[in-house]
Structure 1
Amino acid sequence: MSTGSTYSDDDESPNFDENIKRLKELQYEKKRLLNDLSEQAGMRLTNNNPGIANLGDDNRPSKISERFSELYDNHWTDAMEALDGHKFQEREGIEMLLEVLNAIYEDCKLQREKRLKSFASLVLGVKLEENHDSGENMDIYQNVEMGQNGGTKTTKKDDDIRLQCSRYLSAKDINYTQDKHVKETMYSLLNKKFVDKKRQEVLNHKSLKLYIDQCFEVCWSICLQIPPVVMVTDVKRVDLFRSYTKSGDVIDHVVWPALLLHEDGPVLYKGVAQMTSDATSAPTYENM
């Protein structure tokens, strides 16, 4: 005869197993949410502050600086040798290669701006339909470019728009420089710039073509950054350059540009310039 309730493992087992299963699900969900939160926080931090590098990004500014240095050390040197073989004086060759780089850089900036505006307009069109608030959305558009470094405090919405633009440009245009039509257009641009026969002929030299292609690759990577990395040839900024073959406290002419992390930002790469002690020397290039 039983004097009380009888405990049975079978009675509790289903509930116990269910609770264990639910606990594991909740633990997994908690871990996933924490990972997502950490990732979002990291993305907002790095995208809102270009001084913080995303070490998983091969296109991060420090890597671009390395490629820019290699472009000068290797392809620029080979191109200069090719120009020397075509009877170019050293100063003449330096000026041509810098003009090639500048022309490609300016065109990349133009194409990037077109793409950024196109995408921002697409996003803003959706926002306008939802909010019917053009003032709010114009503020967002301005902050796509400005970010923290433009002197405006950004909101989460601003950051998200900037992040979307960055992702869009990176994903859509990752192979932009490999497009045959784009390359043909770029070479056509250079042929129009260098109209004299001597320069047009040397553009077809193998070393010059490699130099041009690498300039295109690096300049496009520079312009894909948000905010963009900035190329500088300001002859007044002696502090941004190291000497070429002559020392001095005044820049006679720029040989290779400097890179800044962003407009008025820290130096990523010191440029190269021919120096002089003659303060009356007239520099060739002004600020880009």
Structure 2
Amino acid sequence: MKMASMSEKDLRADAKNFCESLGNVFMMKKRDPQTQHLLQKSKTLIDALLQEKRAKTDRPTIPPKPARGGGGSMGQLWVKLDEMKRENDELKKKLHGKMHDEKSSQSKSQGPGEVIIAELHKSKTENESLRAQLEKAITSIKELEKVNLTVQDEFKRTKIAHDMAQKSLEKVKQEQRSLESSLNTVKTENDSLKMRLTNSVKPMKRADNRFVENINEKCRPSNIAILYNNLESQQWVDAKEALEDAGFEDEETVTQFLCEILMVTYSICTDLLTDIDNGISGLLKDPCKIVDSAFLDCVKGTTSLSDDLLHSIKEVLRQNYENIDMEPVAVKCKENLQRDEDWNQFEGVLSHKSIKRYMEQCACVTWQMVIQQTPMWLSINDAYFDEDMHKLWWSCDKSNAKIIKFFVWPALYDCKNGNLLVKGCVNSCSE
């Protein structure tokens, strides 16, 4: 009897421990439906076996006959328990295959507490790793905030500097506009003073009142001086560029050639006025001579008009200077240059439109020079550099400028040996 109670007690203890183990496994496996089903079935089977055992113990005890298989219902119970253990081990193996490598390396005999401790250590390790990452992220955020503050400060300084630069630029623009306005005013006043000076002061060696410049005439020395300057800054530059584009790279030769064109047209216009003087004088004496085509060749240098009549003729010529076609003068200038052996190398470019326009403008300006009451004078005869009468070509050294090699641009006087109106541009060197 005592052995039976001990056996029943051991059975109950084993069944209880087995159920608790299954419960722990069930808790660790996150309520797997298959495990839950096996646990329910195990509990039901154990409870049924225990009730059956209690019922048998309440009956009169008849010594049972020992069974071959090791003993009746207890043997079946242990067989069932072994089967359930095997099933439990198989379920553990399946579940361990789905878990992390660390769980799969644990032994089958590891208890629930050890599993929980392992999971706790793992969670603690992960927590420390996440904490380190969080601290690193916080440090990076602080550094980025410092960089952001620095960039914001730099942006503010740059913006302030930009605003100051904009204000300075506006101020400079206003000053520039003011200076341009002042320059225009000064130029106007300067032109006015030049005109007043020209009108109020008689040229040297001029006793006749007819030699005083008449401001009512458009064709007068002061205006001609302005045209002369424009000729140098416009048509002369275009002609020089045309020659350079044509392959004439020797600057000295090109500038001398352009100067020669101007002097040739001046000479032609002077001769033309002389021919007019001689021709009119001869025709007044014998009008029928105009029938002879060789008349002008015959009268050259033989006769001349009186001063009063010549002055009247010049006045008419000045009034009509804008209507005169100066192309024949340009054509004659071209012919003279072609006959000159010193300039025949430029024969191929004399028909260029820039060169042709330059020759025509030279003829127009020089014609206005020679029809003045006292003809204006172009000079290229100076031998020594004088800063008051000449300006140096850009490539010359002023400290070594003494002897004039050649004129780049002739000097303009109001008359021969008169007052200088425009300085001559020269190429000069030391002795």
TM-score (norm 1): 0.62
Q: Partners of 1:256 and 1:70 in 2: how far apart?
A: 12
Change (3 A) 1:196 1:275: closer
* Contact persistence 1:176–1:182 (CA under 8 A): no
The match for 1:108 among 269, 279, 286 is: 269
Change (3 A) 1:75 1:103: same
2:427 match: 274
Verify: 1:259 aligned to 2:419, yes or no.
no
Q: Partners of 2:216 and 2:321 in 1: how far apart?
A: 19
Identity %: 25
Higher relative contact order (CA 8 A, sep 6+): 1
* Contact persistence 1:235–1:253 (CA under 8 A): no
115-124 or 54-63: bigger deviation:
115-124
* Contact persistence 1:101–1:215 (CA under 8 A): yes
Q: Partners of 1:193 and 1:104 in 2: how far apart?
A: 14
Q: Partners of 1:174 and 1:48 in 2: how far apart?
A: 27
Shift of 1:96: 1.1
The 3-state SS of whatever aligns with 2:313 is helix
TM-score (norm 2): 0.42
Q: Partners of 1:125 and 1:168 in 2: how far apart?
A: 23
2:373 match: 226
Change (3 A) 1:73 1:264: same
Shift of 1:263: 1.2
Q: Partners of 2:332 and 2:241 in 1: how far apart?
A: 26
1:63 match: 223
The 3-state SS of whatever aligns with 2:214 is coil
* Contact persistence 1:79–1:208 (CA under 8 A): yes
2:362 match: 215
1:32 match: none
Shift of 1:170: 3.3
1:118 match: 279
The CA RMSD measured in Å over matched residues stands at 3.1
* Contact persistence 1:75–1:210 (CA under 8 A): yes
1:83 match: 243
Q: Partners of 1:119 and 1:238 in 2: how far apart?
A: 42
Give the helix-richer structure, 1 or 2: 2
Shift of 1:64: 0.8
2:309 match: 161
The 3-state SS of whatever aligns with 1:117 is helix
The number of residues matched between the two structures is 205
* Contact persistence 2:330–2:356 (CA under 8 A): no
Verify: 1:53 aligned to 2:227, yes or no.
no
Corresponding letter in the other structure for 1:76: W
Shift of 1:237: 5.7
Shift of 1:165: 2.9
Change (3 A) 1:51 1:259: farther
Q: Partners of 1:47 and 1:115 in 2: how far apart?
A: 26
Matches within 5 A, 1:105-184: 105-121=266-282, 144=307, 160-170=308-318, 175-178=323-326, 181=328, 183-184=330-331
